[in-house]
Amino acid sequence: MPRIPRLAAYALAVAVIAIFPLIAPNPFFVHVGQTFAYTAIAVIGLNILLGLSGQMSLGHGGFYAVGAYVSAILATTYGWPLTLSMAVALAACLVAGLLVGAVALRTRGLYLAMATLAFGFIVEIVAQRWVSVTGGTMGVMGVPQIDFGNFRMGPTYFFWVAAGILLLVQVGSDYVFGSAIGRRLNAIKESESFAATVGLNVPLWRIGVFAASAALAGLAGVLFAHQSGFVSSDAFNIRLTISLLIATVIGGLGRSAGPLLGTAILIGIAEAIAAVHDIGLMLYGGILLVVLLVFPEGAIGLFGRRRASAAVAPEAAPAFHPAIAGRGRAGGRLDVESVTKSYAGVVALREATLSVEPGTVHALIGPNGAGKSTFINVVAGLYAPTSGRIRIGGVDVTDLPAHRRARLGLVRTFQNLQLIQGVSVLENVMLGMERRRGLAADVLAFLGGAGHEARERAEAASILAFLGIGQLADMKPKDLSYGHRKLVELARAIAQKPAILLLDEPVAGVNPQEAREVARIVAKLRDAGISVLLVEHNMEFVMGLADRVTVLDFGNPIASGTPAEVQKDPKVIRAYLGAVEDAA
């Protein structure tokens, strides 16, 4: 949403929050509004976790319970001030989220769901059995309402506080979805390997978003405890988690406004069928099923698909782009020394040695199965070598993960294209700028409004124009030809300002004209001082572009030299043709 309409929407939300309890027909509607506010907070957290980062959680009811119990017990049993008890409850949920996120770090999909489900069950059992602290099934009674000094809130004031907190959380969610943070989480969801190669510390991001989502669920639990005045384990069973998930999905998974709509539908249906309790659950499930069948993208689909971001394309394609000047230095030297990679005793690489000089193109060729992709993945940091050393600009990076190597200027493209399907071409290119940013830059971008984002969009648009595909900026990758997708991935690599560029089959599957265009661009990268390691099967492309060529066969380097030297080498001819003609 553009900045001005969004600010207008926030202003309208403030007005609605201020007026609603004053014009509500009776206190019941105010109570429903309170419930909507804190439930939506939990759903927003789950939407960011599942919709953006792709992590499934069936344990958010547990975090909700932790927030409710910690604040209720500290305020009731120990007489702590409410502000302090609520702050400690949020901290407890954050720590719990960090711990569960760290434990579940190696799990994905169904296994992650099962791990988080186990956490939810543990919290529920502890709440039932630790009677001396939680009150067991009797719960914690007499939980005080939120107050400020001697001022104790009534329902109206509580609604204003809960709805005000919801508005702040929604503003944060809108920023996450529309900023670099959202692009990073989308990248992690679609390909963790790719995300690492653009400089993202994937484990840290996964744990961080899990903890933030857990804290929002805990905040909802805190507000629930002080609204109801009573906390019991009966309120935190698996049905709570399922309800939060349903609201997330039914509103529109991965859409910033989805949680608000989903929560409204969830609570509206629940209140509407409350009078027919005997068949309530059946009606509840049936209505939700119909909504999902009619609107598979969630109810937010009623308002149309999200509009593509506006690109800022220059009028003409520049003949030279500043981004190809790398990191402001004459490239970087890549040294691979005696690298071996084995898988359960099977040797994929054996004593592979190769050096790429600054400002040169060094091609790595060989038959299918020769070990070229393994070599690229080892150099990029996606695979750990069994033995040997790897240096970038003289720095030993053998033990560094992929994201650390990316931050040293090592950039790669992929044989199997790694484009994020859920965002535009322009935003895919902007992902290449992520390693230049940090948390401080994100905070400054948030405080500074749209200026920083606009500059990055303009830079990404100019790179696309430089490659002759500026007109594709607002399209989605799935709508492009294969050759254009290859160029988009190359544009993203250029946006990373590489010192060393690893190109994995950049012209595989493209037509001759597109191959010539890629060759022109790679030549400009080389002339700008960038070191290029090229893996490619197109021999015409390789021999016309490479300064040196190394040949792999069954993981063994069998030849290295200029293109002319390699073409005449008998071992190379044998590897490709299976025989060597006898010299006359």
| DSSP one-letter string for 244-285 | HHHHHHHHHTT-TTHHHHHHHHHHHHHHHTGGGHHHHHHHHH
Best CA proximity match to 270, nearest among 260, 281, 257, 259: 281
Q: What is the pTM of this model?
A: 0.87
Best CA proximity match to 517, nearest among 483, 494, 482: 483
What would the CATH number be for the domain defined by 6-147+162-302? 1.10.3470
Q: Is 557 left (phi over 0), alpha (psi -120 to 50) or beta?
A: beta
What pLDDT, on the 0 to 100 scale, is given for residue 2? 57
Note the Cα 106 to chain centre separation in Å.
16
**Domains of the chain: which residue ranges?**
6-147+162-302, 328-409+498-583, 422-492
Which H/E stretch holds residue 158? helix 155-178
Beta-strand relationship, 334-343 and 346-356: antiparallel
Best CA proximity match to 300, nearest among 226, 356, 249: 249
What pLDDT, on the 0 to 100 scale, is given for residue 146? 78
The C-alpha atoms of residue 45 and residue 39 are separated, in whole angstroms, by 10
Amino acid at 95: V
The C-alpha atoms of residue 502 and residue 369 are separated, in whole angstroms, by 19
With a CB cutoff of 8 Å and minimum separation 6, the contacts of 365 are 372, 535, 536, 537, 539, 542, 549, 550, 551, 552, 566
What pLDDT, on the 0 to 100 scale, is given for residue 446? 62
What pLDDT, on the 0 to 100 scale, is given for residue 421? 86
**Per-residue pLDDT reduced to its tens digit, 309-366:** 544 444 444 555 555 654 544 458 999 999 999 988 789 999 999 999 999 999 999 9
Architecture of domain 328-409+498-583: 3-Layer(aba) Sandwich (3.40)
| Helix, strand or coil, per DSSP, at residue 525 | helix
Per the DSSP assignment, residues forming a β-bridge with 335 are 355, 391
The C-alpha atoms of residue 264 and residue 309 are separated, in whole angstroms, by 28
The C-alpha atoms of residue 8 and residue 34 are separated, in whole angstroms, by 23
- For the chain, list residues with pLDDT below 70: 1-4, 148-152, 275-281, 284, 287-288, 301-331, 435-451, 577-584
With a CB cutoff of 8 Å and minimum separation 6, the contacts of 393 are 332, 333, 408, 409, 499
Which H/E stretch holds residue 126? helix 109-129
Best CA proximity match to 33, nearest among 285, 263, 374: 263
What would the two tokens of residue 334 be?
């890549």
